[in-house]
A and B are shown apart, each in its own frame.
Chain A
């Protein structure tokens, strides 16, 4: 079961650049890129910061991919 996020879509919809986001959240641009490409799952603290930053419900940003779990069963 993997964690899926819609950070790239939400970020682009709000017209925010990776650099601006990195500056605001005090993280590196590489981390944002890794999260958007699903190569890195952020810590709970960073995930909550991201949710607060975008001002959207957490389910809209992160959710569990159930289909992958069914495939593995």
Chain B
């Protein structure tokens, strides 16, 4: 029951975060173009809700297939701890190396858009890594 409540809270937080992100994106695009496209907001929220429905269906199928076996336990938590410890060092070192490399190349300014793209790629790679680590 406790983990179920936690899951619901997690999904609410994710959906709210996605909506905030979508509205922020629409605001930024609108500020550039002078037109606020609310259809985009509906698509973002709709995508989030659709993702939630797909997750519910997959969770139901998984529950039928695997019974009452938990998804995480002490070993997977330990693996995740180790993974994120390495990720911390790796990200710090790689990011520093990229910054130094850019500075040496004579680039003194970085666009915030490029930084957002870098963070997006980083989160995607880290997310995939976490998924793989959880299944080990």
Contact = CB atoms under 8 A, between A and B. Distances in A.
Given A19-B67, A23-B67, A30 B72 contact: no
Interface string A7-21: 000000000000100
B69 interface: yes
A31 B69 contact: no
B136 A30 contact: yes
Contacts of A30: 75-76, 135-136
Interface string B50-87: 00000000000000001111111111100000000000
Contacts of B70: 26-28
A28 B72 contact: yes
Contacts of A46: 74
A40 interface: yes
Contacts of A31: 73-76
A40 B68 CA distance: 23
27 contacts: A19-B66, A19-B67, A19-B69, A22-B69, A23-B67, A23-B68, A23-B69, A26-B70, A26-B73, A27-B70, A27-B73, A27-B74, A28-B69, A28-B70, A28-B76, A30-B75, A30-B76, A30-B135, A30-B136, A31-B73, A31-B74, A31-B75, A31-B76, A34-B75, A40-B75, A42-B74, A42-B75
Smallest CB-CB A-B distances: 8 pairs: A27-B73, A31-B75, A22-B69, A23-B68, A28-B73, A26-B70, A31-B73, A43-B74
